[in-house]
Amino acid sequence: MDGTNGWVTQVTYTALSYFGAVIGGMRFSEQFSNYQPNQTNNWPAYTPSNGMATLPDGRFMDQICVTGTGGVPQPTPPQIPLGATLVDSGTQTWSVGTSSTGPGVPVQTDTLQRWLDHGAHYQPVSPLR
């Protein structure tokens, strides 16, 4: 999605059991660690979403968003192709079975990156059970 003062990126996942069955209505949360600024910035800190539930078809979305004037650097609408100016990154951990940050069963880690004109998840890893 674009706008004149920033951007919103939605990353969609489908929750599947170890056996490949869709998991609908499962509570999950996220937490962040290992924040790394790649350049001087005053962008807002990562904000964990907690108490969300997967949809009946197992889908859930992570919304990465940076908007507002006066940001340093100023976020821009998405470009085509997407820009290559990395602002910051951090480790994102998804857990299921909880509505609180931290507890629950960790099901994925990835590197969340915020670029000048978009956000992304890189290198998703799900632990073996």
Q: Say which amino acid occupies 94.
A: W
pLDDT digits (tens, 9 = 90+) for 24-59: 888 888 889 999 999 999 999 998 877 778 888 888
Report the pLDDT value the prediction gives residue 128, as an integer from 0 to 100.
60
Report the pLDDT value the prediction gives residue 1, as an integer from 0 to 100.
45
Residue 129's pLDDT band (cuts 50, 70, 90): low
pLDDT digits (tens, 9 = 90+) for 60-96: 888 899 988 788 999 999 999 999 999 999 999 988 8
Per cent of the chain over pLDDT 90 is: 43
Sort strands 6-14 and 59-67 into parallel, antiparallel or unpaired. antiparallel
Distance in angstroms (rounded) separating the CA atoms of residues 32 and 26: 20
Tell me the pLDDT of the chain averaged across its residues: 86
Average pLDDT of the segment spanning 10-23: 86
Q: Say which amino acid occupies 99.
A: S
Q: 118 to each of 70, 75, 88, how far by Cα in Å?
A: 17, 9, 11
Report the pLDDT value the prediction gives residue 2, as an integer from 0 to 100.
46
